[in-house]
Structure 1
């Protein structure tokens, strides 16, 4: 099965304008933009046939081509990364699986994406797959602190016994009243913002109207569920790797600290 990774990147982020071009300093002190770090993460994934940056902005196009990335220009009308990936799949047909490695997740380990692709290959009834990572107490407390401070932090997921998603939320679900130690496993799963799509539901996605749950949560994957398509949750292991997305300006120093602690250049 052939695999294409598309990295959606837009300049006009409502929460963090210009986010793809924000510089992040690695462990050695070298600074690279968020979009370059995301592209490097994609290029490290095994078993992938092609990696492209998908954008509608010439500034991102110039930056990406400057560090050697292939760029596919997409419409400014795309509402989210999935719609942008759908345009890429239309422009570059013939791939069996299209992976959306969002351009704000530079710490995504290669094995997350590899497990995701394998999970979708092994589940013919699933139309979309996405990774989930069980939170330890420290990660859960970070999510809860973000919510108390009014920040949108990570997304959480709940799923059934067949690992099909039941819901995704920017709130912390399921609710738990107890405290957990920093290294203790919790019942909360952090949704990792990566998707693997089969081409047919991806092609149909842009024709579906935005549903009420997607509108409320601002989570693009809910559109598949609101239209009766199964989203498979693939549990991945951190293997000691810390993970966080760059959602807000406050996340930049947090990610740089993580990079320093893990020796990520």
Structure 2
């Protein structure tokens, strides 16, 4: 099975323009641009046959060339990372599985991606994505965020086969009194990494955005509204904090997480 990893990256982020080129210091205090750290995260994954950055911006392509990362250029039309991956399909050399490692998720553990690839092996799924069970204390923190009018993580609920029923930026399922009394909560936190078959990616690109996708701001909901099943793979959380670079104030905690993980 031939596995191609794609790292979608765009310069024109509404919340943090130019973030793929933001310098982030690692454990030794040495700064590297976000896109390089995301590429290095992909390099730590076993079983990938190729890794490419996918972008529409010459500045990102130039930065990638400086540290030797292959780049696939796409148009400016992609509305999200999945659409950008779909657009890059024609430039890949016969991949059986495409993995989307998001360009701002530089702390993605290798075992998350490896678990997805294993689920895809032998045609077991069309789309796969990881989730991890939240501690009750973490769920309470997200409840506090919701009460304050802030959106925290994305949660997911599944059927008995482990296929996604729904994703939401709200906490799901409903948590009645007593449901957070134990150490672990019923909430599963979705991690935004994806593995797709080329046919599922192509179908995604041919499907218009759904109302739910637009309301939630979650690209993966287009698969569900199109009738394409998403396998949710349970993974174990890493020893360090998982953080993404979405806003300038995320830089300090990400650099702390890089130091905790020992990434230079």
TM-score (norm 2): 0.93
For residue 133 of structure 1, what is the aligned residue in structure 2?
132
Aligned equivalents of 2:154, 2:256: Cα separation in 1 = 21
Aligned to 2:63: 63
Q: In structure 2, do the counterparts of structure 1 residues 200 and 97 end up closer, same or farther at CA, with 3 Å as the change threshold?
A: same
1:228-239 aligned within 5 A? 228-239=227-238
The Cα shift of 1:206 comes to 1.3
- 1:56 CA displacement: 0.3
Distance in structure 2 (CA, Å) of the matches to 1:250 and 1:109: 22
2:179–2:186 Cα contact (<8 Å) kept = no
Counterpart of 1:154?
Answer: 153
The question of whether the paired residues in 1 share the 8 Å contact of 2:240 and 2:260 is answered with: no
Taking structure 1 as the reference length, what is the TM-score of the superposition?
0.92
Aligned equivalent of 1:167: 166
Number of residues of Structure 1 aligned to a counterpart in Structure 2: 263
Partner SS for 1:188? strand
Does the 8 Å contact 1:154/1:245 carry over to 2? no
Greater displacement, 243-252 / 156-165: 243-252
Task: Indicate the SS of the match to 2:16.
Answer: coil
Give 3-state SS (helix, strand or coil) of 1:250's partner.
helix
Note the C-alpha offset of 1:24. Answer: 1.5
1:96-149 Cα offsets, whole Å, 9 max, x none, are: 00000000111101110000110122663x310000011124533453454445
Q: CA deviation at 1:175?
A: 2.9
* More off after superposition, 165-174 vs 219-228: 165-174
1:26 aligns to what? 26
Equivalent position of 2:6 in the other structure: 6
Q: Quote how far apart the aligned CAs of 1:218 are.
A: 1.1
- 2:92 and 2:60 mapped to 1: Cα distance? 20
Q: Report whether the alignment pairs 1:211 with 2:176.
A: no
**Residues of 2 paired with 1:68 and 1:146: CA distance?**
40
Question: What is the alpha-carbon distance in structure 1 between the residues aligned to residue 191 and residue 45 of structure 2?
Answer: 16
Q: Deviations over 1:188-216 (max 9, x none)?
A: 11111100001111112111111111011
